C-alpha cells in the first residue's frame, strides 16, 4: 500500500539540514533501506507508522536557497507488503515431464521384453535338445502362465478382469490361432537352430500383406509391396544355405507365421471396444489356449512317451533339467505378457519395429550361445530379410 508523506520546509532550514546541493545516489538493490526513525528526522510532522517503510521514490529532496516554499514528496510502502520482484522463473513444463516419464517407461518395457525373450529362447532350446517333445513343452508354457495369473488374481496382486460370455466367445478364435502359432514355433525350434526359426519368422509381414490382400481384400501402397521383396528373398536365401535345414522345422516356422496373421486379424475384429488390460487379456488368452492344446498334446505325444523322455533327460542332465523346464515356461509367459502390456502404451508401428530389433538380438545371441555354424551367405540372407522387415514397418507408417 502506497502512502504519500508531505513535508514542508517551514519546520526546518535548508541551510542547516543540507549545507550544499547534492544528488542522492539511486539504490542498487531492492527493497530499499528501511526508514527506522522518522520521528527523529522530522519531529514536527504528524504521521505514524507501526510497520517499517521502504522508500520507493524521492523527488527533489534538496531544497534550493531561492525557494521559500517547496514541497518534497516521498513515496513509501509497508515492508510486509513489498512489491514483487520482476523476475521470470520458468517452471518445468508438465507435459514435457509426463512425456519424458512415458518414454522411460516404454524403454523399460522394451528392454524387459527383449531380455525375457532371449532368456526364454535359450532355455526353450536347451529343454528341446534334451526332451524333444514340443507339444508337452508348449503345454507347460501355457500352464505356468495360467497358474501365475490365477495366483495373482487370488492374492489381489493384480485385479481380475470383468468378462462375460461374449468376451470368451470373441477370444476363442484368437486362442486357436495363438495355440497353433505357439506349437508350430516350438516344433520348429525342436528340429532346427533357434536362429533359423527366427529368420523364417521374420517373414511374418509378407504373410500379413498376402492374407489381407487376397482374403480380406485390403489394399496397400506400393512401398509396402516392394518391402516384401527383400523379406521373401532373404528368407529364401537363408533357407537354401542353412547347414542344419529340416523340412519339419521350416514348415513349423511358416505355419507359425500364418497363425500369427490370423491371430492379429481375429484380435482386431473381436476385441474392439473391450476394456481389458493387456496383461489380463494375455492371461485369458493363455488359459483358453491351454484348454484347447491339452487334449491335442495328449493325443499326439501321450503320457507314456513323456515319462520315458523325462527320465532320460533327468538322467543325462541332472536336476538342472527341471530348472530349465520351469524357466522356459515362466519366461515364455512373462515375455508375452510384457509385450501385450507394451501394446497398451505404444503404437502398432513402434511395436513392429521393436519386434524386429528383438528378433535380431535373439538370432545373434543364439548363434553365440549355441555355437551355431553360419555361412556368410546365410548371414547375408538373414540380414536382407530383417532389413526388409524394417522397411515394411516404415512403409506402413
Give 29's pLDDT tier (boundaries 50, 70, 90): very low
DSSP 76-97: EEEGGGPPPP----PPPPHHHH
- Distance, CA of 330 to CA of 264 (rounded, Å): 24
Whether residue 71 has pLDDT greater than 90: no
Q: What local confidence, expressed as pLDDT, does residue 345 receive?
A: 72
Would you say residue 137 lies in a domain?
A: yes
Whether residue 67 has pLDDT greater than 60: no
Strand partners, 54: 34, 77
Helix 165-191 and helix 247-270, axial crossing angle in degrees, nearest 10: 160
- Distance, CA of 14 to CA of 51 (rounded, Å): 29
> How deeply is 342 buried, as exposed, middle or buried, from its count of CB atoms within 10 A (0-12, 13-18, 19+)?
buried
H or E element, residue 336: helix 320-343
What are the φ and ψ backbone dihedral angles of 73, each rounded to 5 degrees? Answer: -100, 130
Report the range of poorest mean pLDDT among 161-175, 187-201, 212-226, 347-361: 347-361
What are the φ and ψ backbone dihedral angles of 65, each rounded to 5 degrees? Answer: -70, -35
Chain mean pLDDT for the chain: 80
Task: Report whether 289 contacts 175 (CB < 8 A).
Answer: yes
Nearest to 375 by CA among 248, 253, 250, 240: 240
- Higher pLDDT residue, 47 or 201? 201
179-204 pLDDT tens trace: 999 999 999 999 999 999 999 998 88
Cβ-Cβ contacts under 8 Å for 263 (sequence gap 6 or more): 174, 177, 178, 181
Whether residue 269 has pLDDT greater than 80: no
Nearest to 393 by CA among 202, 205, 222, 111: 205
The gap from C-alpha 89 to its chain's centroid, in whole angstroms, comes to 32
- How far is it between the farthest Cα atoms of the chain? 125
Q: What is the tally of structural domains in the chain?
A: 1
Task: Report whether 34 contacts 53 (CB < 8 A).
Answer: yes
Q: What local confidence, expressed as pLDDT, does residue 8 receive?
A: 45
283-338 pLDDT tens trace: 999 999 999 999 999 999 999 999 999 999 999 999 999 999 999 999 999 998 88
Would you say residue 358 lies in a domain?
A: yes
Q: Of how many residues is the chain composed?
A: 397
Across residues 330-350, what is the average pLDDT?
80
Would you say residue 325 lies in a domain?
A: yes
Cβ-Cβ contacts under 8 Å for 182 (sequence gap 6 or more): 138, 141, 142, 256, 289, 293
Would you say residue 38 lies in a domain?
A: no
Would you say residue 85 lies in a domain?
A: no
Would you say residue 7 lies in a domain?
A: no
Give 270's pLDDT tier (boundaries 50, 70, 90): low
Query: Would the pTM of this model clear 0.85, i.e. be above it?
Result: no
Q: Is the peptide bond before 31 cis (omega within 30 degrees of 0)?
A: yes
* Residue ranges of E strands in the chain: 2-7, 34-35, 53-58, 72-78
Task: Report whether 374 contacts 219 (CB < 8 A).
Answer: no
Would you say residue 8 lies in a domain?
A: no
Across residues 352-379, what is the average pLDDT?
86
DSSP 339-383: HHHHHTTS-HHHHHHHHHHHHHHHHHHHHHHTT----HHHHHHHH
Would you say residue 369 lies in a domain?
A: yes
Q: What local confidence, expressed as pLDDT, does residue 276 receive?
A: 80
Structural domain including 390 reads: 103-396
Report the range of poorest mean pLDDT among 217-226, 230-239, 266-275, 291-300: 266-275
What are the φ and ψ backbone dihedral angles of 161, each rounded to 5 degrees? Answer: -75, 150
Whether residue 35 has pLDDT greater than 50: no
Amino acid at each position: 500500500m502506497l502512502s504519500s508523506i508531505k513535508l514542508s520546509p517551514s519546520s526546518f532550514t535548508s541551510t542547516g539540514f543540507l549545507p550544499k546541493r547534492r544528488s542522492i545516489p539511486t539504490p542498487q538493490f531492492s527493497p530499499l533501506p528501511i526508514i527506522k526513525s522518522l520521528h527523529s528526522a522530522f519531529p514536527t510532522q504528524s504521521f505514524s507508522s507501526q510497520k517499517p517503510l521502504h522508500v520507493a521514490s524521492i523527488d527533489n529532496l534538496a531544497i534550493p536557497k531561492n525557494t521559500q516554499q517547496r514541497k518534497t514528496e516521498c513515496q513509501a510502502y509497508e515492508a510486509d507488503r513489498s512489491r514483487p520482484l520482476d523476475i521470470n522463473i520458468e517452471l518445468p513444463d508438465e507435459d514435457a515431464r509426463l512425456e519424458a516419464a512415458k518414454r522411460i517407461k516404454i524403454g523399460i518395457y522394451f528392454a524387459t521384453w527383449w531380455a525375457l525373450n532371449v532368456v526364454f529362447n535359450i532355455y526353450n532350446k536347451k529343454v528341446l535338445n534334451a526332451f524333444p517333445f514340443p507339444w508337452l513343452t508348449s503345454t507347460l508354457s501355457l500352464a505356468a502362465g495360467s497358474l501365475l495369473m490365477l495366483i495373482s488374481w487370488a492374492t489381489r496382486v493384480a485385479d481380475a478382469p470383468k468378462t462375460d460370455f461374449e468376451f470368451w466367445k470373441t477370444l476363442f478364435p484368437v486362442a486357436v490361432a495363438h495355440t497353433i502359432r505357439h506349437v508350430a514355433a516350438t516344433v520348429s525350434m525342436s528340429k532346427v537352430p533357434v536362429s533359423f526359426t527366427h529368420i523364417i519368422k521374420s517373414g511374418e509381414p509378407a504373410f500379413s500383406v498376402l492374407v489381407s490382400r487376397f482374403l480380406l481384400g485390403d489394399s496397400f501402397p506400393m512401398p509396402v509391396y516392394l518391402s516384401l521383396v527383400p523379406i521373401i528373398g532373404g528368407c529364401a536365401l537363408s533357407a537354401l544355405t542353412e547347414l542344419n535345414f529340416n523340412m519339419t522345422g521350416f514348415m513349423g516356422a511358416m505355419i507359425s507365421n500364418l497363425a500369427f496373421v490370423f491371430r492379429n486379424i481375429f484380435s482386431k475384429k473381436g476385441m474392439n471396444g473391450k476394456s481389458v488390460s493387456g496383461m489380463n487379456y494375455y492371461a485369458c488368452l493363455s488359459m483358453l489356449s491351454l484348454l484347447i492344446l491339452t487334449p491335442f498334446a495328449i493325443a499326439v505325444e501321450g503320457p507314456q512317451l513323456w515319462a520315458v523322455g523325462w527320465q532320460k533327460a533327468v538322467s543325462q542332465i541332472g536336476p538342472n533339467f527341471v530348472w530349465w523346464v520351469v524357466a522356459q515356461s515362466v519366461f515364455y509367459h512373462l515375455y508375452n505378457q510384457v509385450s501385450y502390456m507394451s501394446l497398451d502404451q505404444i503404437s502398432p508401428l513402434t511395436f513392429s519395429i521393436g519386434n524386429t530389433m528383438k528378433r535380431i538380438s535373439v538370432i545373434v545371441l543364439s548363434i553365440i550361445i549355441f555355437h551355431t555354424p553360419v555361412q556368410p551367405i546365410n548371414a547375408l540372407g538373414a540380414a536382407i530379410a530383417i532389413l526388409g522387415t524394417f522397411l515394411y514397418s516404415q512403409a506402413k507408417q
